[in-house]
Amino acid sequence: MKKITFFLSLIILISCKNQEHNNSDKTIADSKEQTVIPQKGKKDHQVRDIKKAEIAPNVDGDMNDPIWNQTKWYPMDQNWIGEFPDIKDFFGRYKMTWTPEALYILVEIKDDILYDQYKDPLKLWWDDDCVEIFIDADNSGGEHQYNNNAFAYHVALDGNVVDLDAEKKPLLYNNHIKMKRTTKDDVSVWEFELTVYDDTYQEGKANDPVVLSNNQKLGFAIAYNDNDTSKERENFMGSVFVPGEDKNQGWINADIFGTITLVE
């Protein structure tokens, strides 16, 4: 009788151990299924709310549209290339607004010499005076040098808009940005209407622009290439702090863009 009792106890003990082992495996499996692996991506910085315009501003290089009286100036005071310029040589600031159809940007630049040495808009376009607008439609960040994950639009004094395409060649994107510049003495007012495209954009194809909406986030930065009659640009002044020694990263890496949030 004692032997029978012993064997029954042994069977029950083994059964319990097996059950514990099986439950332990299931717990580990469930834990693995619930683990979220963090994805690399842009960390939002310089986050700014951009107010919607009830009436879109006229792109005429004039600051008198009602929305421009209701929005604040932001500085272009980050030295990306060259020595920090004297205020007599350069001063830059900008404002922004939006409608579902486009982003609108007002830029005021104090520059005593406007220089356009290359009449061919696709030749060394970055060494002429120009405004450069960086836009990332989904604020995802990442590399965009030769793809449309983001855009780096160089807008020349004459209104030509240049970026690099997937074939590593410069291309005119004049249908992406409408621009008007007015200049009085050494102060220029640049006004832009920017149609936003996302990473599905393909050159030479029919592409639908992004419809902008409340609470939407976009990656954004803006800069000015300043050249006072030199062979190469002398300064490159941006709107976003870029860490490290090489600050000329905007045309390659959308992680350095600030983040704008569209609000009503």
Q: Give the DSSP letter of residue 253.
A: B
Q: Please say if the pLDDT value at position 29 is more than 80.
A: no
108 lies in the same domain as 131:
yes
114 lies in the same domain as 31:
no
- Express each pLDDT in 218-227 by its tens digit: 999 999 999 9
Q: Please say if the pLDDT value at position 186 is more than 70.
A: yes
Which residue in 259, 253, 214, 246 sits closest to 81, CA to CA? Answer: 246
Give the per-residue pLDDT at 41.
Answer: 78
Q: Note whether 141 and 255 are within 8 A (CB).
A: yes
pLDDT band at 36 (very low <50, low <70, confident <90, very high): very low
Provide the greatest CA pair distance for the chain.
113
- Express each pLDDT in 115-166 by its tens digit: 999 889 999 999 999 999 999 999 999 999 999 999 999 999 999 999 999 9
Q: Is residue 42 part of a domain?
A: no
Give the per-residue pLDDT at 137.
Answer: 98
Give the per-residue pLDDT at 40.
Answer: 55
Q: Please say if the pLDDT value at position 184 is more than 80.
A: yes
Averaged pLDDT of the chain: 87
Q: How far apart are CA 232 and CA 246, in angstroms?
A: 17
* Encoded amino acid at 54, one letter: E
- Cα–chain center distance at 21: 52
Give the per-residue pLDDT at 10.
Answer: 40
Give the per-residue pLDDT at 21.
Answer: 39
Q: Please say if the pLDDT value at position 25 is more than 80.
A: no
247 lies in the same domain as 122:
yes
Q: Is residue 167 part of a domain?
A: yes
23 lies in the same domain as 129:
no
Q: Please say if the pLDDT value at position 16 is more than 70.
A: no
Q: Give the DSSP letter of residue 243.
A: -
- Express each pLDDT in 94-110 by its tens digit: 999 999 999 999 999 99
Mean pLDDT of the region 241-257: 96
53 lies in the same domain as 9:
no
Whole domain around residue 22: which residue ranges? Answer: 1-37
Name the CA dihedral angle for 64, 68, 69, 70, rounded to a multiple of 10 degrees: 160
8 lies in the same domain as 129:
no
52 lies in the same domain as 109:
yes
31 lies in the same domain as 92:
no
Q: Please say if the pLDDT value at position 27 is more than 90.
A: no
Q: Is residue 256 part of a domain?
A: yes
Total structural domains within the chain: 2
111 lies in the same domain as 168:
yes
